[in-house]
């Protein structure tokens, strides 16, 4: 079993599915000859040819639009947007066409496309390279929004996304691309979409996170253990549709919940999770639900980047506050 980092796992998943399904093809800026800005598609054009790994002009709206057309005609395009700061021109195609093709045609057509993009801060990138827009896409009916938190989950979830008959927005945490390696079996086994993963069991408080923030959240759980607090950690993985039942079961067990995400706090997806808990598990709570999020500002440049991303200390402090409730 190979030890892969997250971007290598993405590459392996793409290669596996292309080798086993001729309808899968890739398109995006610099993904062919150069193998993508992060090398996620490295070597795939040489292996599968220019007709299946297509270099496109610098036109994100056109990339998404072409992918919608390909999907409507029976292909399975995987479109890459270089950074999520440039993903906003795709919203027209995703909300007006990709997300509603099944409904518009009363089920005659589906849109089996994947829109991939690195996302999030933490690599000292320039402006427009570090955004976390998962809540925007989660608000669009008809789209799945998937965010892996490790190489193994990136491999299995991307395979599932490519096999899904409907459009999937697949956001890859840039900060994790080469942060660590993990044993990944390149066997074509997918992981379930629309399901949270229980990453750590505990009994005192539920920590809910996704993507790169799983790193700080698990580190916070380790730190809290030294203080005698047994934290349960849930990796949301699929933001939309949300596996709220797994979160509710955990909250009903622990009585406390802290939600952690890298996107701005206001109207972030943490607010949706907090609302679900308030509506359906209020009487299980021993303390108010806490949110630890980024600030409601534009993602800062590199010097202030670490102050923007929720830290282990901020998570631990939020849990301490939650533990004071009774």
Contact 292, 259 (CB under 8 A): yes
Record the tokens describing residue 108, joined without a space.
């005659």
* Block residue for tokens 């700080």: 216
Cα torsion 269, 215, 290, 235: sign: positive
Dist. CA 217–CA 40, nearest whole Å: 26
H-helix segments, the chain: 6-20, 44-48, 60-72, 91-96, 101-104, 134-138, 151-163, 213-226, 244-254, 269-280, 302-308, 312-324
Any idea which residue has 């998937």 for tokens?
146
Q: Give the pairing type, strands 144-146 and 257-264.
A: unpaired
> Using CA atoms, how far apart are residues 77 and 68, in angstroms rounded to an integer?
8
Numbers of helices and strands, H then E, in the chain: 12, 14
97 is a catalytic site residue: no
CA atoms of 232 and 301, how far apart (whole Å): 33
User: In whole angstroms, what is the distance from residue 1 CA to residue 18 CA?
Assistant: 20
> What does the alpha-carbon distance between residue 231 and residue 254 come to, in Å, rounded to a whole number?
9
Choice among 12, 97, 128, 129 that is catalytic: 129
What residues are labeled active site? 129
């Amino acid at each position: 079993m190979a030890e892969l980092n997250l971007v290598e796992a993405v590459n392996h998943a793409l290669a596996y599915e292309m080798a086993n399904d001729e309808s899968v093809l890739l398109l995006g800026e610099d993904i062919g000859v150069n193998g993508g800005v992060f090398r996620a598609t490295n070597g795939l054009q040489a292996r599968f040819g220019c007709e299946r790994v297509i270099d496109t002009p610098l036109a994100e709206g056109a990339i998404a639009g072409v992918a919608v057309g390909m999907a409507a005609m029976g292909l399975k395009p995987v479109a890459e947007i270089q950074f999520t700061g440039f993903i906003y021109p795709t919203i027209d195609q995703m909300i007006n066409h990709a997300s509603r093709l099944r409904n518009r045609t009363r089920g005659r057509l589906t849109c089996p496309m994947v829109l991939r993009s690195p996302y999030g801060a933490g690599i000292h990138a320039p402006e427009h390279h570090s955004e976390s827009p998962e809540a925007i896409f989660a608000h669009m009916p008809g789209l799945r929004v998937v965010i892996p938190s490790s190489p193994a989950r990136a491999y299995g979830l991307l395979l599932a996304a490519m096999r899904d008959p409907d459009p999937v927005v697949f956001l890859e945490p840039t900060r994790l691309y080469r942060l660590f390696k993990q044993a990944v079996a390149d066997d074509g086994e997918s992981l379930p979409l629309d399901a949270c993963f229980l990453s750590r069991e505990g009994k005192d408080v539920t920590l809910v996170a996704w993507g790169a923030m799983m790193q700080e959240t698990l580190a916070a759980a380790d730190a809290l253990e030294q203080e005698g607090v047994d934290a349960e950690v849930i990796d949301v993985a699929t933001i939309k549709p949300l596996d709220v039942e797994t979160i509710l079961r955990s909250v009903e067990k622990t009585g406390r919940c802290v939600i952690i995400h890298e996107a701005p706090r206001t109207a972030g997806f943490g607010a949706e999770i907090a609302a679900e808990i308030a509506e359906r598990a209020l009487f299980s709570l021993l303390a108010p639900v806490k949110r630890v999020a980024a600030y409601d500002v534009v993602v800062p440049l590199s010097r202030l980047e670490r102050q923007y991303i929720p830290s282990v200390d901020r998570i631990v402090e939020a849990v301490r506050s939650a533990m004071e409730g009774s």
